[in-house]
Amino acid sequence: VDHKVNIIIDTSIIKWKPQQTQFLPVHVKSLNAMNFLPDLAGWALSGGAGAGEDGNNDNNGNADSDEPMQQETEEEIRAKRLARLAGRTSDTVTAKSGNDSPAGAEETATTDGPSPMKVDNPGEMMTGQDDDKKPAAVIPQETKAPARPLPKNPKSATGGEADKVQEPLTKKKRGKEPPSQRKKELLIKKILNIILTGGKVTNSECIEIDIGTAIVSEENISEILASRLAISPSALKSASSKERNLIAYLASCHKKASEELKTLKSDSSTAEIEVLLQEIKRQVVSYAASSLIEPDDLFQLGKDCILQLAQCLSSTSLDPASSITLGVSGKNSSFYACLCEELLSQDKEAFERVIVGVVSIISDNLSKCDTVLDNTNGGGLVQVSALTAVCSFKKAAAVVPKVDNFLLPAAGTSQASKKKTAPLPPPPAGATPQQQQIYRMMVAMSHGSQSYLGRSGPALEKETLLGRVMKIGTPMNNPTITSQFQNAARSRSEVKKSTENLRRQLKIYQDSVYSLVKALITAGEGGRKPVMQWFTDALLVNFGATALRPDETKVSNPQTLQNISVVLLRLCEPFMNDPSRIHPGFVSSPEHHGGIFVNSGDNAVPRLNDNGETPSDPYNPKNTFIPLTFFLCVRSLTLSVVASAAYHTNIVRQVNHMGWVLRQRNANVLADPNFNNYLSRQCASEVSLLAPEMTVDTLRFFNLSSGFLLQVADEFLPGMPEHMVEDVCDYVVFATRFAPRDMERVDLGNIFKTVVKLLSPKYAATMRNYNLRAKLGDVLHDVYLPDKKDNDVPSAVTCDPKAGGLPYLLSDSSAQDTLAPSLLLLYGEVEHTGYYEKMTHRAKIASLLQYLWESHEHRSAFKRITQNKDSFIKFANGIMNEMNSLIASVMEKLPEIRRVHEQMRNSEEWGGLSDEQRETITSRHEENEHEVKQALPLCNKTLKMLGFLSTDNDIRSLFLLEEMCPRLVNMLLHVMTKLIGARGMELKVDNPESYNFRPREMLTDLCSIFSCYADASHFQEHCAKSGYYTEDLMNKAVKTCAKLNTLTTENMELFASLPGKVKLVSKNIQDDEALFVDAPDEFLDPLMCTFMRDPVLLPTSNTIIDRATITQHLLNDPHDPFNRKELTVDMIEPATELKQRMAEWVAGKRSERDNKMQE
């Protein structure tokens, strides 16, 4: 017989027959322990043990009868067992009672010799004596301190209470004891907190157990331990909570025994002690396992064993020293690991049932927590730590996904479409029925419809285990979090302190969540597959999280999605610097991506260029986990961090606007409740979104994804998700504004190279989204352009450490070859992005072009630009169109702004207006200011760009082409007229720098451009022809520049010579125009009615027109102006015959004029 439970059997008493397998001892091999214990107890209680010395145990006295014993029901067995235990306890338990015995009196009992059988059934605690003999468990006898109260005896099988202890007990005399007896008793006291009746060791704080004449040995450890565990909970009221918790007590005993074994010197003198300690460890684990399998059939202390186990696991984070998952000799030697092994060895189904029960308790506790500040049941951190502790045993981790609702219902099922309603918060305590009704109405109105589908974002975080884990954090809409920033407008130091405190707690919690997920994934396929499916489901049901105002009944809380991203980012850590391990075919394999990258339907994910072609290389990676994790993280970031960044930017904009409005009204900003509400939400949003670890990890991942796009084959690139590029652009620009210092810790070289690659003319056809291409340009400007005044991006971000700290814009070879022509192409493409957006984009492109122009590394690229005449003409035409439009808008708005300023300064006039009138004027004024602030930066930068481009002879020659020169001249003269013309004084506004209006700087750039073309006869000719040109205007400009001394001496001389040269050219033009007065109609341009210089034929309408006229038209409209058919410049045919006749006609007219002059 195995000694794990210490069943002593006298074969003369028990006659076992093959049919009576239910009576086998608990730990006999191949038998289930808990099937045996109740039957053995029932057999003993029904008189089987004393049926007769001949061993007859059947009614007929036939020892050889093959009929099995008639079995009693579990309720009958338990009732008899408790009655027997009650009877024995009444005779043997020592206790003090103020009413029944004098203080200090001892109660003793005597026993006869042992019966032929000792059954260590914890439910009975029999020591082998008859019914009227004493049991094994004795409450300790105190001599110096009052004895502990006697536990109330459980009711007997008939429903009455057992008689209370009245007679004193007599301690049993022991026989000869071995020399090691005292040492063993000391170990029993130290480990089990038990002393033996009549033993050599006494202690008033320990529980006293009577084992009769037996000495302490490995054979009776089970009896001692069972006696201790059988004590009624009511008898342990004064004991510590650990003493009253069966699992905690056994775990503590296991740990103490392990510590003693570790410190024990292994030799022949300690062999007996070592065996005893090993037996204690085995027994505590065995009793714990048996109690968990059948909690209602053993000890009263263990009725809620599964809850106790959950509590022990929860205490891991609160008191690591008492952790049941940390073993003295390593993790596998811990009490929890040994317990799991024991459960598995006894009953695998019971093991799974126990683990599922523990996880369910923890899950219920998690459902009551929303923030890291919540302390319900210890808070979220305690519960997640408990789950992690559960998963410390890999086979237990594999069972966790078997809990109910671990995954959302499958799409298309009835459970998925079933509507659920979230419970509304209860009315305040003490509210009257009428107040409760009003409260419910108000809550219902403010919350709206709180119902959600069984497969949705809210169901994910309310119903699933991992959802309840992920939802806990610092949600910005939670009052518990926003209340931490109630005085955000008053005290920045308090805001900083609260932010740091919350971030510290959030990081600890997120670390614990990652440990949990990692434990589940590393448990094997049984844990990894459902966890990754949960992540996939989470992304699928939160497709709408990118909306400007997500539907709260369909998507999860932003904090839930951010926590998901945190975990996925950390799972990507092993390959964060190695994009070569990521297979691009994942996004085109529905079988593997599970629907998160579908390219059709309502939830379609746009591709860079969805041409419908499937890559020839099939998706068959060596490691499927890496691409799965990577692309899950790609999708998660767009739903969480990037979406939250956009929302945060909007909140900041709202806060700034509200502050401005309040200051305009002379209101108290600090006291405004609405302003403080928005400000507290902004601060709460920054806790998690702008946490340094979050920013750094996100940037590192985007650098990884950029490295992946950099190396991906061209056949896969068009099929990549469009948001994969857009997220990189949006987030790095966001980081430059809100977290520039955190960027210093990350290498962003791959992002720069990917932007240059995608902007290059080679990939212009691959990525046709003009808004996305414009964002690539913004990244170059906001992140990689050095020495900008409007942001704080560290030089470590803009410069390449591998190139000696040289800026990426100058050191990268690809940028040197392609970036200048790419930006010229992009300047024209952003025309399609929107009116205000294109101005912002072009202002940034102009700054980039100026920086590249000033560096010798890019000069060769600019030289190559002039070789593509058509491309450059399109770019130059875009510049002039933009400049004309901006100047017209700005020069119209600035006088209006000036008038409103004067009106507001006149308090009498302004006060005389009605509130409605003032509101209308103010609103219009704000619109004008916004438009001017958007337009003027681009005006300034466009003039500067024209200035530095005009210094190059090759580029200047392109501007002097017949189709370009007239437009250039008119644009320059138009700007000059607005700046120094008759109405120039109307442009003087208050604080012009706030609008980026720098008239002196603009005039300097303008006159510098004129000086570059002053010697060009073609430029002089078109100045003379322009309707904007007047001699007085040009002379005034020359005098102003000379007075301001803004031009170099050489440029000033060239500019000052221009009015005289234009005057001479004007006389020649007037003479030529006199010749053309009577020109035939066929020689005149059909649109401009001017004499044609270079007639051409339009094949689409068979019309002859001047080349300059049609070329300028096609720059803005690719259609024949006469029949709207598509037309391009290369389709135009020269009208050679007409041109020859026109030349002959002009020659004849000039000859006639010359002859008249001679006469």
Assess contact for 1035 and 981: CB atoms under 8 A.
Answer: no
Which candidate, 841, 819, 847, places its Cα nearest to that of 828? 841
Residues contacting residue 428 through CB under 8 Å, at least 6 positions apart = 435, 439
Residue type for 524, please?
G
Which strand (E) or helix (H) includes residue 1005?
A: helix 999-1013
Cα angle 598, 599, 605; round to 5: 80
- Which CA distances in Å does 894 have to 445, 842, 888, 889, 890? 47, 22, 10, 9, 6
For every residue of 920-934, DSSP letters joined together read HHHHHHHHHHHHHHH
Assess contact for 209 and 194: CB atoms under 8 A.
Answer: yes
Which candidate, 811, 819, 841, 813, places its Cα nearest to that of 829? 841
Which candidate, 167, 156, 21, 161, places its Cα nearest to that of 94? 167
- What is the reported pLDDT for 129? 37
Q: Which two tokens stand for residue 383?
A: 């519960």
d(CA 592, CA 595): 8
The separation between the first and the last C-alpha atoms of the chain, rounded to the nearest angstrom, is: 147
d(CA 583, CA 719): 13
**pTM above 0.85?**
no
Per-residue pLDDT tens over the stretch 534-557: 999 999 999 999 998 899 899 999
Assess contact for 389 and 323: CB atoms under 8 A.
Answer: yes
Q: Which two tokens stand for residue 871?
A: 């491309």
d(CA 768, CA 770): 6
d(CA 967, CA 969): 5
- What is the reported pLDDT for 964? 86
Residue 1091 has what DSSP assignment?
Answer: B
Assess contact for 742 and 792: CB atoms under 8 A.
Answer: no
Per-residue pLDDT tens over the stretch 945-956: 899 999 989 889
Tell me, rounded to whole angstroms, the distance of Cα 100 from its chain centroid: 67
Per-residue pLDDT tens over the stretch 845-893: 989 999 999 898 998 888 888 888 877 887 888 788 778 888 888 888 8
Residue type for 380, please?
G
- What is the reported pLDDT for 423? 67
- What is the reported pLDDT for 136? 36
DSSP percent split of the chain into helix, strand, coil, nearest 5: 60, 5, 35
- What is the reported pLDDT for 367? 93
Residue 409 has what DSSP assignment?
Answer: P
- What is the reported pLDDT for 449? 54
Return mean pLDDT, the chain. Answer: 81
Which candidate, 660, 643, 436, 623, places its Cα nearest to that of 556? 643
CB atoms under 10 Å from CB of 125, counted, come to 26
d(CA 500, CA 541): 32
- Residues belonging to the chain: 1159
For every residue of 642-709, DSSP letters joined together read HHHHHHHHHHHHHHHHHHHHHHHTT--TTT-HHHHHHHHHHHHHHHHHT-HHHHHHHHHHHHHHHHHH
- What is the reported pLDDT for 443? 65
Residue type for 153, please?
N
Residues in the chain where the model's pLDDT stays below 70: 1-178, 213-214, 423-425, 443-449, 612, 790-791, 1159
